[in-house]
């Protein structure tokens, strides 16, 4: 009797666990189809030279990666991407945090402003690019009109090589604001109020509260957003395609746009696949570095 009871419990436990895997099965199948298989296929393609219509493939080993290493244009794209990611993250996260601090207050009508700052997240990158094409038009654009009102002559934002990259950086920061603000707000609202009350009793001013309480308590949020902001910046494509198409004179030809041109314009599938894996390795190394060194300074409750 005892053995039958134990066996019944074991069978129930096994069935319970099996049902869990069964529920996970659809997600696992989709993950394998849309993530694992493309990743493996791309790795194989990176070692081949493929005809434009994909009917013939020649195994060439590391040739595509060696060509990337020797390519002056790819080095230029790598440099541009570094500048683009650096300024997008360095300026975007502090701006998002400042706005989040304002939106975390209990001022009247603050819900309206939260909705306004969330809107860029709800707009597709292509539509955002189209909106900014009109705003940045050198003749009829709103931004240059406002500059003329205060006595300045606005530049050709999208066609001047000196202004194209800063323009794309500005638009990307604006586009990422909504996501960053939502995450920052969630982190700020989880900071216990009694910590601020205790600091006020000790005579701490607003700056000391921000440095000694707010920053340490939202450090996990800062780490998460730093990682995601870098990844999002590396993957920026839609707005760049609409605004500058990688130009002028390759001034905004970031790695992802270079990959796109080689894959879908020049039909160099193997070469583009090698570029995809270089981007993956770069992001992997950056993320590992962040977890190793920034993770040590993260404060968890």
This prediction's pTM: 0.87
Say yes or no: 34 and 68 in one domain.
no
Say yes or no: 217 and 269 in one domain.
yes
Contact 177, 95 (CB under 8 A): yes
> Does residue 55 lie within any of the structural domains?
no
Say yes or no: 38 and 74 in one domain.
no
> Does residue 51 lie within any of the structural domains?
no
Report how far residue 292's alpha carbon sits from residue 24's, in angstroms, rounded to the nearest whole number. Answer: 31
- CATH number of the domain that residue 179 is part of: 1.10.3720.10
Say yes or no: 71 and 187 in one domain.
yes
pLDDT on residue 216: 87
Say yes or no: 10 and 98 in one domain.
no
- Residue environment code for 267-278, b if the CB has 16+ CB neighbours within 10 A, otherwise e: ebbbbbbbbbbb
As a whole number, mean pLDDT of residues 92-115 equals: 86
CA atoms within 13 Å, Cβ hemisphere of 171:
33
Contact 100, 191 (CB under 8 A): no
Report how far residue 272's alpha carbon sits from residue 233's, in angstroms, rounded to the nearest whole number. Answer: 19
Say yes or no: 166 and 31 in one domain.
no
Contact 191, 130 (CB under 8 A): no
Say yes or no: 41 and 151 in one domain.
no
- Reported as a single tens digit per residue, the pLDDT across 235-289 is 889 889 999 988 888 899 999 999 999 988 888 989 999 999 999 999 999 999 8
Report how far residue 146's alpha carbon sits from residue 142's, in angstroms, rounded to the nearest whole number. Answer: 6
Q: What residue numbers bound the domain in which 36 lies?
A: 2-45
Q: Count up the domains in the chain and report the number.
A: 2
- Reported as a single tens digit per residue, the pLDDT across 119-160 is 888 888 888 888 999 999 888 888 899 988 898 888 899 989
> Does residue 248 lie within any of the structural domains?
yes
Say yes or no: 128 and 23 in one domain.
no
- Reported as a single tens digit per residue, the pLDDT across 175-198 is 999 899 999 998 888 888 888 888
As a whole number, mean pLDDT of residues 23-27 equals: 86
Q: Which of 154, 95, 144, 145 is nearest to 120 (CA)?
A: 95
As a whole number, mean pLDDT of residues 87-115 equals: 87
pLDDT band, very low/low/confident/very high, at 11 (cuts 50, 70, 90): low
Say yes or no: 41 and 145 in one domain.
no
As a whole number, mean pLDDT of residues 28-35 equals: 90
pLDDT on residue 6: 47
Say yes or no: 77 and 151 in one domain.
yes
> Does residue 54 lie within any of the structural domains?
no
Q: CB-based contacts of 189: which residues, under 8 Å, 6+ apart?
A: 104
- Reported as a single tens digit per residue, the pLDDT across 44-59 is 999 988 887 767 788 8
Say yes or no: 34 and 78 in one domain.
no
Q: Which of 135, 127, 152 is nearest to 239 (CA)?
A: 127
């Amino acid at each position: 009797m005892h053995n039958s009871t134990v066996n019944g419990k074991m069978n129930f436990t096994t069935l319970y666990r099996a049902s869990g895997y069964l529920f996970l099965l659809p997600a696992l199948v989709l993950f394998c189809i849309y993530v694992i298989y493309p990743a493996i296929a791309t790795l194989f393609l990176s070692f081949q030279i493929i005809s434009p219509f994909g009917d013939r493939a020649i195994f060439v080993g590391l040739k595509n990666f060696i060509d990337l290493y020797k390519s002056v244009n790819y080095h230029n794209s790598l440099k541009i991407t570094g500048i683009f990611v650096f300024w997008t993250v360095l300026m975007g996260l502090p701006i998002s945090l400042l706005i989040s601090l304002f939106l975390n207050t209990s001022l009247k009508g603050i819900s309206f402003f939260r909705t306004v700052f969330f809107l860029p997240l709800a707009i597709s990158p292509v539509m955002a690019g189209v909106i900014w094409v009109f705003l940045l038009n050198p003749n009829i654009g709103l931004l240059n009109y406002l500059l003329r009102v205060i006595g300045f002559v606005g530049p050709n934002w999208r066609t001047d090589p000196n202004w194209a990259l800063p323009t794309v950086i500005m638009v990307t920061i604006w586009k990422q604001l909504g996501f960053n603000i939502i995450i920052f707000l969630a982190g700020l609202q989880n900071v216990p109020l009694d910590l601020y009350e205790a600091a006020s009793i000790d005579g701490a001013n607003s700056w000391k509260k921000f440095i000694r309480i707010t920053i340490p308590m939202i450090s996990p949020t800062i780490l998460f957003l730093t990682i995601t902001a870098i990844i999002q910046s590396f993957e920026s494509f839609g707005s760049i395609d609409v605004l500058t198409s990688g130009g002028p004179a390759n001034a905004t030809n970031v790695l992802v746009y270079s990959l796109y041109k080689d894959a879908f314009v020049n039909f160099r599938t193997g070469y583009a696949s090698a570029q995809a894996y270089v981007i993956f390795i770069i992001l992997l190394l950056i993320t590992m570095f962040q977890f190793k060194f920034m993770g040590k300074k993260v404060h968890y409750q």
